[in-house]
Amino acid sequence: MPDLEAENLDPITCSEQQFDNAVLYVKELKRGLIDFLKKPKRISIVNFPIELDDGSVRSFQGYRVIHNRVFGPGKGGIRYHPDVTMEEVVALAKLMTWKCALVNIPFGGAKGGVVCNTKVLSESELRHITRRFTSELSDSIGPYTDIPAPDLYTDEQTMAWIFDTYDVLHPGENNRPVVTGKPVDMGGSYGRHEATGNGVYYATERFLSKALIPEQQTVAGARIVIQGFGNVGSIAAQAFFRNGAKIIAVSDSKGGVYREGGFDPDELLAFKKEQGTIVGMPDTMTLTNQEIIELECDILIPAALSNQIHGDNARKINAKLIIEAANNPTTPKADAILTERGIYLLPDVIANAGGVTVSYFEWVQNQANQQWDLEEVNTRLQKRIYKVMDDVFSRWQGFIVGEVQPSASQPGQTSSTKPSFRCIALSIAIERVARATLMRGIWP
Ligand code: NAD
């Protein structure tokens, strides 16, 4: 793990550093808005008891944070993990605000989490936690106020329980749009399960087509390493594999496996289903999660937890391109090192935006009680992700060729003339939210 003394990994501090770096590339920002844009609108903290299968009672803590609702209801996943903190949820809610603004969908940013270890809880205990958490959140979630979705260690089943609980508490209404990422048979969208992983693929494909890495202009033949083999990591692996890339290493919470000849992701999924992990797969070399991150490859895809690329290992990264499938996998210190080393990084705010994009499609379908077919969903998703990539790339290029100069208006900050894609993507999003805030007019 990173040396905590040397690097401040507090999620709020990290997200504020990202914001401050990006603001240098915002065309105009009314100074008084900066504080408003940095702070969450509302934080809910709930504590509730659950009776476990053995008859004992345990108390759980959960969070739901709405960062900003200028563009519409809050939108963001709910994660179940023993290390969830309020600070992490605040930082992730903020990231959702920028992500929704960047892909131009009418939602604000939100996020939630419950401190729990799903690996030691039974299905009925998880159902009780989900129902109780949902009822504790009460009317702070809703189809037009705040709409949850899956995230780490939550899935379609969790979303079905959230929908059911909310529906019981609000009879007689069309409650399907209260949550996205539902099972397809219960109003979920075709393609939502695969959306984040497929979006990771579309974003990478479009990025490579810009020829910044002259020897790798398509994914065909690219040697790929993926940290995390859950929903996002495994679906991304399948998309890259289908398009001719070679998946040389993957990992899960137990460790990683490497095979120079490459893996068929379906073979990995079958082994994981049987054994509970990919570690131990025949004809592979076992690696730690840190070794996975430092492997020599063309494209490195962190698809698990935050802060995996940090000040201690950023100089050892041996990839030409990093695609952030996970949220916040790279610390600001690592960001600066990677930029200095000329390693391109496609940030989370673009790379994993496929999930929230198809969540929006699900919400639209639910409003009209319709279900689009898979082809329609994927075509619309690809178009949106390509558009975001093109918007970010053309603004980035403007700074690189010197047509546009960074703003020097923020006190105490210096700006590099070679911004990262994160800075540019965030600057577009911040600008849109700031402009909309002023257009609506500061109330009263
Ligand atoms: P998931 O629960 O389906 O999978 C998580 C994976 O990470 C599992 O394979 C797990 O074994 C692995 N993992 C856990 N701890 C690890 C560790 N210490 N080292 C390496 N691997 C570890 O979760 P997911 O939905 O695939 O989410 C993964 C990431 O993608 C998260 O950062 C999440 O916020 C982000 N994300 C998810 C979505 C979505 O639609 N699910 C959307 C946007 C962003």
pLDDT tens digit sequence for 133-177: 999 998 999 999 999 999 999 999 999 999 999 999 999 999 999
In sequence order, the 6+-apart residues with CB closer than 8 A to the CB of 370 are none
The answer to whether 111 is a known catalytic residue is yes
Burial of 343 (0-12, 13-18, 19+ CB in 10 A): middle
**What is the average per-residue pLDDT within 124-130?**
98
Q: Report which protein residue has its CA nearest ligand 1's atom 41.
A: 151
Half-sphere exposure (Cβ direction) of 112: Cα atoms closer than 13 Å? 29
327 lines ligand 1 (CB under 6 A): yes
Ranges 26-35, 60-69, 189-198: which has the least confidence: 26-35
163: which residues sit within 8 A by CB, 6+ positions away? 175, 176, 178, 179, 182, 186, 187
Rounded to 10 deg, the angle between the 421-440 and 374-400 helix axes is 100
154 lines ligand 1 (CB under 6 A): no
Q: Which of 111, 246, 320, 333 is catalytic?
A: 111
Tokens of 239: 């998309």
Quick one: tokens of 153?
């260690």
Residue nearest to atom 40 of ligand 1 (CA): 355
Report whether residue 80 contacts ligand 1, using a CB cutoff of 6 Å.
no
Q: How far is CA 328 from CA 29, 125, 196, 219, 335, in A?
A: 24, 29, 15, 24, 11
- Ligand 1 nearest atom to the CA of residue 359, by list position: 40
Are 17 and 328 in contact by the 8 Å Cβ rule? The answer is: no
What's the pLDDT score for residue 411?
43
Which helix (H) or strand (E) segment holds residue 42: the answer is strand 42-51
Instruction: Report percent pLDDT > 90 for the chain.
Output: 93
Whether the CB-CB separation of 248 and 260 falls below 8 Å is answered with yes
Backbone phi, psi, residue 281, to 5°: -60, 135
Which residues pair with residue 109 across a beta bridge?
Answer: 68, 75
What's the mean pLDDT in 432-437?
Answer: 97
Q: Ligand 1 atom closest to Cα of 153? A: 2
Q: For residues 24 and 58, what is the distance between their CA atoms, to the nearest angstrom?
A: 47
Ligand 1 atom nearest the C-alpha of 329 is: 32
With beta carbons less than 8 A apart as the criterion, state whether 148 and 162 touch: yes
Model confidence over 370-425: pLDDT tens digits? 999 999 999 999 999 999 999 999 999 999 887 777 775 444 444 555 799 999 99
Beta carbon of 228 within 6 Å of any ligand 1 atom: yes
Domains by residue range for the chain, with CATH: 40-172 (3.40.50.10860), 194-351 (3.40.50.720)
What pLDDT, on the 0 to 100 scale, is given for residue 404?
74
pTM equals 0.96
d(CA 81, CA 92): 14
Q: Which amino acid belongs to residue 395?
A: R
Q: Determine the residue of 81, 103, 231 to mutate for testing ligand 1's pocket, defined as the one with the most ligand atoms within 8 A of the Cβ atom.
A: 231
Q: Which two tokens stand for residue 13?
A: 């501090």
Region 97-104 average pLDDT: 98
